[in-house]
Every structure is written in structure tokens, then in C-alpha cells.
Amino acid sequence: MTEYKIALVGFGGVNRGLAQLIAERNPAWRKELGFSLKIVGVTDLFLGSIMDRDGLDAAQLARLPSVKGAFAELAGGSAEAFNETIIKQSGADIVAEATFTNPVDGEPATTFCRWALEAGKHVVTTNKGPIALHAEELKALAGRNGVAFEYEGSVMSGTPVIRMARETLPGASIIGFEGILNGTSNYVLTRMEEGLSFTDAVGKAQELGYAEADPTADVEGHDVRLKVVILANELLGAKLRTSDVHCSGITQVSAADIESARQRGARWKLIGSASRAADGAVSASVEARLLEGSHPLAGISGATNAVSFDTELLGKVTVSGPGAGRIETAFALLSDIVAIHTSVSKR
Ligand code: HSE
């Protein structure tokens, strides 16, 4: 039976969710998936780090209090984040990178991915920064080192979108997509339809844990722009940079705009889209759009995300589901590990 040793880099909600799943589900995974996971190292800039090549107690890790330097309280742990040591020397086969998204240069996550790939470790990540800004370089690095680099969770957390399109739509010719790719802004627009003010709706989204600490990235479209770049580059063969994508958010949509749309069965949505022209050029944008009730994305409410692919052979193909959440995003890491296991097993 295969047992993968895994190092967790960043121990906020996502990797903590993965530790919880490992604690609860390893026996079921052995039967259902043909492998189990053993955590051999964890590092986090706030909590510190811990390493044990024989395996750490996943349940104990999942319960760790979120206080500065908390790993120092565990036997063998430290208040210092020994990122490079944990990534390179914990004996991990797989590194799960789930630190914060830096939309400017993708750091320090990109460096963590580089270290892992150069050391011959598979990398799974949910981080939008390294993928939107450095995917090509990191994929090439993985190729040169004979390891996998997987990032399904970077767009819609655990809801399959990249792999779904790559594995099931080849030949259908995807020529574009439209997506609701930010849970916070869709939640805010939905609550405003119910009469809540913009400010109160953003506050609620923060309370519910959908919004970023600074929700500007959510409501001004910057979070969606990263996801549009990832989807366009992955699925339309584009080579877009974030600066190529015109971006505006939902702050210009007034309560009156939302009410008059509602009265005629239409809805305002923050839409990230891209399309490929006949000459192969791909253009993309992020903007609030007024959708008629018949549009495939008009019925998507609350924090739910959705992408509608425009294909030559099938017309529109739409997938919807959660786009954020602790366990939902931890599942994305699991789905990446399943993909690695499948390809390793075929070798
Ligand atoms: N703040 C993001 C959202 C989280 O609201 O969708 C997932 O990227």
C-alpha cells in the first residue's frame, strides 16, 4: 500500500483542513484511493515549524491553537518557520503549498514551490499568485525534475474546473469562458438584491470568512483577474499577464441599479471572461455585467462560483460549486494528490 510523505507549507485554514482530513480519512483513502498520507513537516510564518520523518500526529496538528509560535509548544517544534529545511529535508514526497496569495510577485509562495521542485518533490498548491504569475517557469522546472506540479484549487477551490476541462473537453474546442469567480462579490450582490447595503453585505462576507482580510481584492475584481489569467493561459493557450486584463469591480453598481434589474428579472454579476478570436488572439476582462435571467450564470447566488465554457462542439458547458472554504480547498489538494498517484501508478 502506498503511503506518501507530505510537508505542509502555510498552516492557515487550507492545510489545517488537509491535516483534519488526513486524521479522519486515511483508512478510507487506503481503500478508496489506494494510498494514505503521512505528515512529516509543517511550516508557517506565524506559527513556526515542526518536522518528524517518522510522521506527525495529524489530529494534534489540526487542533493547534492559532497563536504566534504555537509549534514551539509541541515536542520537537519551534516558533521559527524553517521553511527551506521543512521543504527540502523533511523527507517529503509531496509539498502542499497553501500560504497567502501575493498578487504582485507571487512571493514567498513561488520560492517555496521552486525549492520543492528543485529538490525533486511533487508540489500541490491552491495559491493563485505563483500560477497566475509564474506557471510556465514552474511547470518547466517540474518537468526538468521529473515531478508533478498541480494547482486545481487555484481557481474554484475544490470544484473541478481546470482538470475537468483539460481531461473531458479536449476536442470540444473551448473558445472562451465566462465565470463568477469570486464568492465575496457574488454574495454581496445577492444580499444587496435582498435590500442589504454594500457595506453591511461586505461585513457579512467577512464574518462568514469568504472575504479577504482587505476585501478590496474581492470587490474591485483583482482576485478574479488572477483566476481569469490562470484559466485563459491553461485552457485557451493564452500567454496573458495580469496587466493585459482590463479590470473593474462591483463598487460602481448601486442599490438602485440592482433593484431596477431585479424588477425585470435580470441580475448584476461580476464576470471574469476570456475569448479567443479567429486569429488566435485571446482577450480577457473582469467587469460587472447585467445578465438576463436566461443566462447560464444568472441563477448563481451567494458565495457559489461557476464557469460557463463556450465550446465549438457542445455550446455552453457550465460547472458550479464552492469557490472558497477550508475543507473545500483542502479537497482541491487531495484531488491534486489523487492525480499524482494516478500518474505515478501508471509509470
Ligand atoms: N476571497 C475569495 C472569494 C476566496 O471570495 O472568492 C477564494 O479565492
Domain identity same for 167 and 311: yes
Nearest alpha carbon, ligand 1 atom 8:
324
Q: Among 131, 210, 286, say which to mutate for ligand 1: greatest number of ligand atoms within 8 Å of CB.
A: 210
Domain identity same for 282 and 238: yes
How many domains in the chain?
2
Global pTM exceeds 0.85? yes
So what's the pLDDT on residue 210?
A: 86
Atom number in ligand 1 closest to CA 227: 8
Domain identity same for 122 and 254: no
Residue-range definition of the domain harbouring residue 94: 2-157+327-345
Domain identity same for 111 and 208: no
So what's the pLDDT on residue 1?
A: 83
Q: Among 101, 125, 181, 212, say which to mutate for ligand 1: greatest number of ligand atoms within 8 Å of CB.
A: 212
So what's the pLDDT on residue 282?
A: 98
CA of 18 to the centre of ligand 1 (A): 18
Domain identity same for 98 and 172: no
Domain identity same for 152 and 189: no
Domain identity same for 225 and 129: no
CA of 150 to the centre of ligand 1 (A): 19
Residue numbers of the chain with a pLDDT score lower than 50: none
Domain identity same for 181 and 278: yes
CA of 147 to the centre of ligand 1 (A): 29
Looking up residue 13, the CATH number of its domain turns out to be: 3.40.50.720
Domain identity same for 127 and 214: no
Ligand 1 pocket, residue 323 CB under 6 Å: yes
Domain identity same for 236 and 210: yes
Ligand 1 pocket, residue 182 CB under 6 Å: yes
Looking up residue 285, the CATH number of its domain turns out to be: 3.30.360.10
So what's the pLDDT on residue 209?
A: 83
Question: Residue 133, Cβ neighbours under 10 Å: how many?
Answer: 23
Domain identity same for 133 and 168: no
So what's the pLDDT on residue 302?
A: 95
Domain identity same for 152 and 181: no
So what's the pLDDT on residue 16?
A: 97
- Whether 316 is catalytic is no
